Amino acid sequence: MLRIYNTLTNSKEEFRPAEPGVVRFYTCGPTVYDFAHIGNFRTFVFQDLLRRYLRFRDYSVIHVMNITDVDDRTIQMARTQGISLVEYTARYTEAFLEDSQKLGLQAPDFMPRATGHIPEMVQLIRRLEERGYTYRRDGSIYFSIARFPEYGKLSKQDFKGMQAGARVDNDRYDKDEARDFVLWKARKEGEDFWETEIGPGRPGWHIECSAMSMKYLGESFDIHCGGIDLVFPHHENEIAQSECATGKPFVHYWVHPEFLVVEGEKMSKSLGNFFTLRDLLAQGHSPQAIRYLLLSVHYRKQLNFTMDGLRQAESSIQRLEDFRQRMTELADGSDPCPEFTAQIESAQASFIEAMDDDLNISAALGVIFDFIRSTYQTHDQGRISRGDARAAVDFVLEVDQVLGVMRPQPELLDEEIARRIEERQAARRRRDFAEADRIRDWLSSQGIQLEDTREGIRWKRIHKNGLSQN
C-alpha cells in the first residue's frame, strides 16, 4: 500500500482516498507574472510523478491545477508594461503550458483561472462573513485568525502571543508575520477590480485556491500539493478559510516538495544562477534530462541542481534508450521463459515497493538500472531469448509511464525496413520459416505490415489512427 508523508500530521501515512479508487488532487499552479524557473518546475515535475504513479497504481485521478492570473505581482507587472492584465497573463500562461508540455507534464483535468471564478470567491467570503470570521476596514475584508484556534496546525506554529487585529494586505508575507489576512481587497485607483455584492475590488491570493479547489473537488478532498514555501502562510490560510466556511476538514493529505538550489547555492538573479526552463534549453540541454534531474532526488530532500547532474541525467536516459534499442532488435512475439518472467515480476514488485514508500524515487531508479545490468549479463551469457527481450522492453516502457523520461520512439527508417525484409527473404530461401515469421512479427510489432504480392513484398506503416500507404 502507498504511504505518503503528510505535513499536517508530520508522519508517513497509508494513503486511503475518501472514495475508494478515486483520488481528488489539487496542486497550486503558477502565478503567471513571468516564465517559470526550474525551482517551480521541480514542484510541478514532482506533482506529475505523483499523479502518474497514482494512475499506475490504478487510481482514477481527478487533478485540478489553478492558474493565478490576478495578484499583486501580475497587476504590478502589467501596469509597468502598460498593457491589460488579461493580455499580460495570457502571454505567460501560454509560455507555462508550452514549458509543461516540453517537460512531459500531463495536462490537469481542470485548469481553472482565478479571474474566471470571482463569483465563487465572493460566495465563499460571504459564507465566512455570515459565520462571523471576518471584519471590514476601508472596503477590504479580512479573516480574523483569532477566531480559528487551530490556526498554525499545518505549519506547526504557535500564534498565542500575536497581536490581535494586526492585518496584512500583501498576498505574500514573511513567516514570522501571523496577521489577519485579506480576503477581498478594496478597489484601488488604477488597479483591476470587479463590481460585486461584497463591494468593488479584487480577491486576495489565498481565497482563490480555496474557492477553485472546492468547486471542482468538493469541500473535503484527498491531496493538496504545493512547494514547501507555500505551507505558511498560503496553505495555512487556505485551511482557515475553507474549514471555517464549511465546518469540515478541508484536505486529508498535505504534500510539500522541498526547495531546489543551484550548484549548492540559493537560486537568485543576482548570483547569476537563476534558470528558467528556456534558459537551459537554449544552452542545449534536453527537456528529458532536465525532467530526469528534477525528479531523481526524493521530493522531501533539497535538490542540488548542477550542470554535472544534468550530464549524468543525460547519460542515464541514454542507458535506458540503448537498452530499449538493443532489446527491441532482439525481440519477437514469442513468450519469455519462466525464469526471466520471474525476474521481471521481481523487478516490478521492487519498483512498486520503492515508490509505495513515500515515492522513494532513488530506490525505484536503482531497481530499473539493476534490472538492465543483470539482463545484459544474462544476454552476454547467451541466455536471453527473443521473447525475453520483448518482455524486457515492455518492462522498461511500463516504468516509463511513471517516469516519462524516454523520448518518443522514432519510426523505423525505410532502409532498416528494407534490410529486415531482405533478411526475411533470405530465411525463406533457406526454408527457415520460423525465422521468417519472427521477422514478420517483429516488423508488425513496430507498426510495419508486410504484404506478399506477385511483384514482391510490399509494406505499409500502420498508425493507430488508420493506415498510411507507403
Task: List contacts with Zn ion (CB under 5 A).
Answer: 28, 209
Min. distance of Cβ 217 from Zn ion in angstroms? 13
Q: Of 225 and 317, which has the nearer Cβ to Zn ion?
A: 225
Q: Of 251 and 436, which has the nearer Cβ to Zn ion?
A: 251
Min. distance of Cβ 37 from Zn ion in angstroms? 18
Q: Of 235 and 438, which has the nearer Cβ to Zn ion?
A: 235
Q: Terminal CA-to-CA distance of the chain, rounded, Å?
A: 49
Min. distance of Cβ 28 from Zn ion in angstroms? 3
Min. distance of Cβ 69 from Zn ion in angstroms? 13
Min. distance of Cβ 328 from Zn ion in angstroms? 43
Task: Tell me the three cell numbers of residue 11.
Answer: 508522519
Q: Of 154 and 209, which has the nearer Cβ to Zn ion?
A: 209
Q: Of 65 and 355, which has the nearer Cβ to Zn ion?
A: 65
Q: Of 28 and 290, which has the nearer Cβ to Zn ion?
A: 28
Min. distance of Cβ 62 from Zn ion in angstroms? 17
Min. distance of Cβ 305 from Zn ion in angstroms? 24
Q: Of 3 and 172, which has the nearer Cβ to Zn ion?
A: 172
Q: Of 71 and 388, which has the nearer Cβ to Zn ion?
A: 71
Min. distance of Cβ 26 from Zn ion in angstroms? 8
